[in-house]
Amino acid sequence: MKYDPLRNHVGGALVDADLPTLDVYDPSHGTVISRVPLSGAREVDAAVQCARAAFPAWSALPIKERVQVFFRYKALLERDVDTLAALVSEENGKIESEARAEILKAAELCEFACSLPQIATGELLEVSRGVECRVERFSLGVVASIAPFNFPNMVPHWTIPNAIALGNCMILKPSELVPLSANRTAELLLEAGLPAGVFQVVHGGRDAVEAICDHPDIAAVSFVGSTATAKVVYRRATSNLKRCLALGGAKNHLIVMPDADREMAASNIVASMSGCAGQRCMAASVMVAVRDVDPVIARMVEVARAMVPGRDIGPVISAAALERIVRYVDEAEAAGATVLVDGRGVKVPGKEGGYFIGPTIIDHVTPDMRIAREEVFGPVLAIVRATSLDEAIAVENASPYGNAASVYTESGAVARRVFERASTGMVGVNVGVPVPREPFSFGGWYESRFGVGDITGKGSIEFWTQSKKLTTKWNRAAGVNWMS
Ligand code: NAD
Distance in angstroms (rounded) separating the CA atoms of residues 65 and 43:
30
Give start-end residues of each CATH 3.40.309.10 domain in the chain: 252-429
Going from the Cα of 246 to the center of ligand 1, the distance in angstroms, rounded, reads 10
Question: What sign does the CA torsion over 70, 65, 145, 422 have?
Answer: negative
Q: SS3 breakdown of the chain: % helix, strand, coil, rounded to 5?
A: 40, 25, 35
Residue 102 Cβ inside 6 Å of ligand 1? The answer reads no
Question: What are the b/e assignments for 49-72, b being 16+ CB within 10 Å?
Answer: ebbeebbeebbeeebeebbebbeb
**pLDDT exceeding 90 applies to what percent of the chain?**
97
ipTM of this predicted structure: 0.99
Report residue 113's pLDDT band, with 50, 70 and 90 as the boundaries. very high
Please report, as a single letter, which amino acid is at residue 90.
E
Residue 237 Cβ inside 6 Å of ligand 1? The answer reads no
Answer whether residue 377 shows pLDDT above 90. Answer: yes
Q: In what helix (H) or strand (E) does residue 91 lie, and over which residues does it extend?
A: helix 81-92
Distance in angstroms (rounded) separating the CA atoms of residues 8 and 47:
9
CA 391 to chain centre: 30
Q: Whose CA is nearest to atom 9 of ligand 1?
A: 175
Q: Reduced to 3 states, what is the DSSP secondary structure of residue 266?
A: helix
Backbone angles phi, psi at 71, to 5 degrees: -60, -45
pLDDT at 475: 84
Answer whether residue 481 shows pLDDT above 90. Answer: no
pLDDT at 139: 98
pTM over 0.90: yes
**CB within 8 A of 473, min separation 6: which ones?**
130, 131
* Phi-psi sector, 90: left (phi>0), alpha (psi -120 to 50), beta: alpha
Task: Catalogue the active-site residues.
Answer: 281
Beta bridge partners of 402: 445
Q: Reduced to 3 states, what is the DSSP secondary structure of residue 143?
A: strand
Helices (H), 196-244: 206-214, 227-239
| Residue 443 near residue 242 (C-beta atoms within 8 A) | no
pLDDT at 477: 79
Residue 150's Cβ-count burial label (10 Å; 0-12, 13-18, 19+) is buried
The atom of ligand 1 lying closest to the CA of 213 is 20
Name the DSSP class of 171: E
**CB within 8 A of 315, min separation 6: which ones?**
27, 28, 93, 277, 322, 348, 351, 354, 355, 356, 357
**Cα–Cα nearest to 396, from 289, 257, 255, 203:** 255
Residue 211 Cβ inside 6 Å of ligand 1? The answer reads no
| Residue 344 near residue 378 (C-beta atoms within 8 A) | no
Report residue 476's pLDDT band, with 50, 70 and 90 as the boundaries. confident
The atom of ligand 1 lying closest to the CA of 228 is 2
Answer whether residue 480 shows pLDDT above 80. Answer: no
pLDDT at 50: 98
**CB within 8 A of 287, min separation 6: which ones?**
253, 254, 255, 256, 269, 381, 382, 383, 384
Between residues 483 and 114, which one has the greater pLDDT? Answer: 114
pLDDT at 285: 98
Residue 43 Cβ inside 6 Å of ligand 1? The answer reads no
Q: In what helix (H) or strand (E) does residue 139 lie, and over which residues does it extend?
A: strand 131-139
pLDDT at 156: 98
What average pLDDT does the chain have?
A: 97
Pocket test for ligand 1, best of 150, 173, 247 (most atoms within 8 A of CB): 150
Answer whether residue 169 shows pLDDT above 90. Answer: yes
**pLDDT exceeding 70 applies to what percent of the chain?**
100
pLDDT at 370: 97
Residue 206 Cβ inside 6 Å of ligand 1? The answer reads yes
**Cα–Cα nearest to 288, from 421, 397, 379, 417:** 397
pLDDT at 432: 95
First-to-final CA distance of the chain: 80
Four-way CATH pick for 252-429: 3.40.309.10, 3.40.50.300, 3.30.2130.10, 3.40.50.12280: 3.40.309.10
Output the CATH code of domain 8-248+448-469: 3.40.605.10
pLDDT by residue (tens digit) across 319-363?
A: 999 999 999 999 999 999 999 999 999 999 999 999 999 999 999
| Residue 392 near residue 244 (C-beta atoms within 8 A) | no
pLDDT by residue (tens digit) across 184-216?
A: 999 999 999 999 999 999 999 999 999 999 999
Distance in angstroms (rounded) separating the CA atoms of residues 483 and 30:
79
Report residue 483's pLDDT band, with 50, 70 and 90 as the boundaries. confident
Residues 107-122, mean pLDDT to the nearest whole number: 97
